[in-house]
Structure 1
């Protein structure tokens, strides 16, 4: 919703100010379809050239997150801590019984209690692979932490691609606007024998290209790219939380301490309160019993 409000503010302030100053929309509206075809088409073509099919699909899938915001909400962080609590508790009580949960998480009674987390392949694989490694005596906390850090970093780098791709388009749009404006000037020079009122409209139409390129770059595409970058960084905390808890587990801290380490490493605006989490963990213990 806030994204839509921002877009509305941009259009109202820019065009409202233009109209309030005595500007007329006629020239802009007449030239806009042709200028947008040139600038938007060239920008789309450059985007396709500079990205492979997978990256294009990824960008198209994630563009809606400009309006939806981060994927993981405060409830999801609390659920993740509860899930990790159950898994660590199970591993310490009966390591053999844990195997059925980490080998087939989609059929696990533990994982299926947290459907939103179960839908995320990266989070599930991160949890299961780390717990599986620990069960194979690959339990050097420093080695595991390094492996997890590299894996999370690679995943984060991949998630940042849509924002980089859009930012490249935003950087190119002002120049493409100039290209469209130059073509408009060329068209105008072909009508140099026309009276001033006609030349004025032709020149005004050419300048719409420069305006449109700059407006799209700094008013829409650039902010979209920045928002996707911010959302990606926000969601990365979810996977960092998994790393913190599982590494603490390898240091043989008590289960409650492992979960508290994760809670305290959760960003403040999505961090569950201590008492709130304690109540949730008590409910987990009660259900398990």
Structure 2
């Protein structure tokens, strides 16, 4: 919703100021300029970007427009789930976690936390972290390095759509100049038709420059910034899981392990220590 409000403000300020200066919005609508600029921008994206990154751009943009980013409640639920898992492993042995880890969708424990189940990547990262603990295939103090390596790969992967969008945003002003030059060429070929026709074609050419800069700095680059911010929030979730699981594997008590994870969170989404401790009391006593 905030993004849509921002879009409205950008349009209102631009068109409103133009009209206050005596301009008419209709003179800005030149279909040929839109075709040239947006078409070239799309072509540049296709040339420079692999298909899976383009699909990820669409996915990330939809999530940004829908406001899908983890909030304090999501982190609270994640920490509660981690506590229940650790308490189950502490009370009943690590082998008791196997039934939950092998098929989380059928686990009564995981089903109590649908926000975690609904996010495939976070769930997969958590399961991948717990499996070596259950299997005993890796030393506890080696687990954090293993998860950190996976996290680094995720971070690089999540940055690909941002870099592609920034590349397009940085290219759009120059693409606008290309459209403007094409418009001037068209103007020169019609110079004998009189000042009225020439003036209209020059206005169309200048609109190309305006459109390139406007789309770049009004929408594409800010949207890339929002996606980067959302990625950072997702990374907080992964970091939270890593610190908690690694701490538990090293022998920390369940409450201590999730406290370490809690302290790794940004203050805007970090639950209070007393609030979290009160919420987890009585959890992890059953399946």
TM-score, scaled relative to structure 1: 0.93
Give the distance between the partners of 2:5 and 2:130, measured in 1 at CA. Answer: 44
Q: Is the 8 A contact 2:133 2:140 kept in 1?
A: no
> What is the correspondence of 1:134-145 to structure 2 with a 5 Å cutoff?
134-145=133-144
Determine helix, strand or coil for the equivalent of 2:173.
helix
Q: Which residue matches 1:25?
A: 25
**What's the counterpart of residue 131 of structure 1?**
130
8 Å contact kept, 1:70–1:232: no
* 1:47 is aligned to 2:45: yes
Distance 1:89 1:284 in 2: 8
Any residues of structure 2 matched to 1:1-289 within 5 Å, and which?
1-29=1-29, 31=30, 33-94=31-92, 95-285=94-284, 288=286
Runs of 4+ deviating beyond 4 Å: none
Does the 8 Å CA contact 1:55/1:161 hold for their aligned counterparts?
yes
What is the aligned residue count? Answer: 286
More deviation in 206-215 or 158-167? 158-167
Q: Distance in 2 between matches of 1:248 and 1:194?
A: 78
Structure 1's unaligned 5+ residue stretches are none
Root mean square deviation, CA, Å: 1.7
Identify unmatched segments of 5+ residues in structure 2.
Answer: none
**What is the CA-CA distance between 1:117 and the residue it aligns to?**
0.5
Deviations 1:245-264 (A, max 9, x none): 11111221211111111112
**CA distance 1:196–1:116, shift in 2 (3 Å):** same
Tell me the distance in 2 between the aligned counterparts of 1:228 and 1:242: 21
Provide the rounded CA distance (Å) in 1 between the counterparts of 2:112 and 2:26.
59
For 1:122 and 1:14, the matched residues in 2 are separated by: 40
Worse-matched range after superposition: 95-104 or 34-43 = 95-104
TM-score (norm 2): 0.94
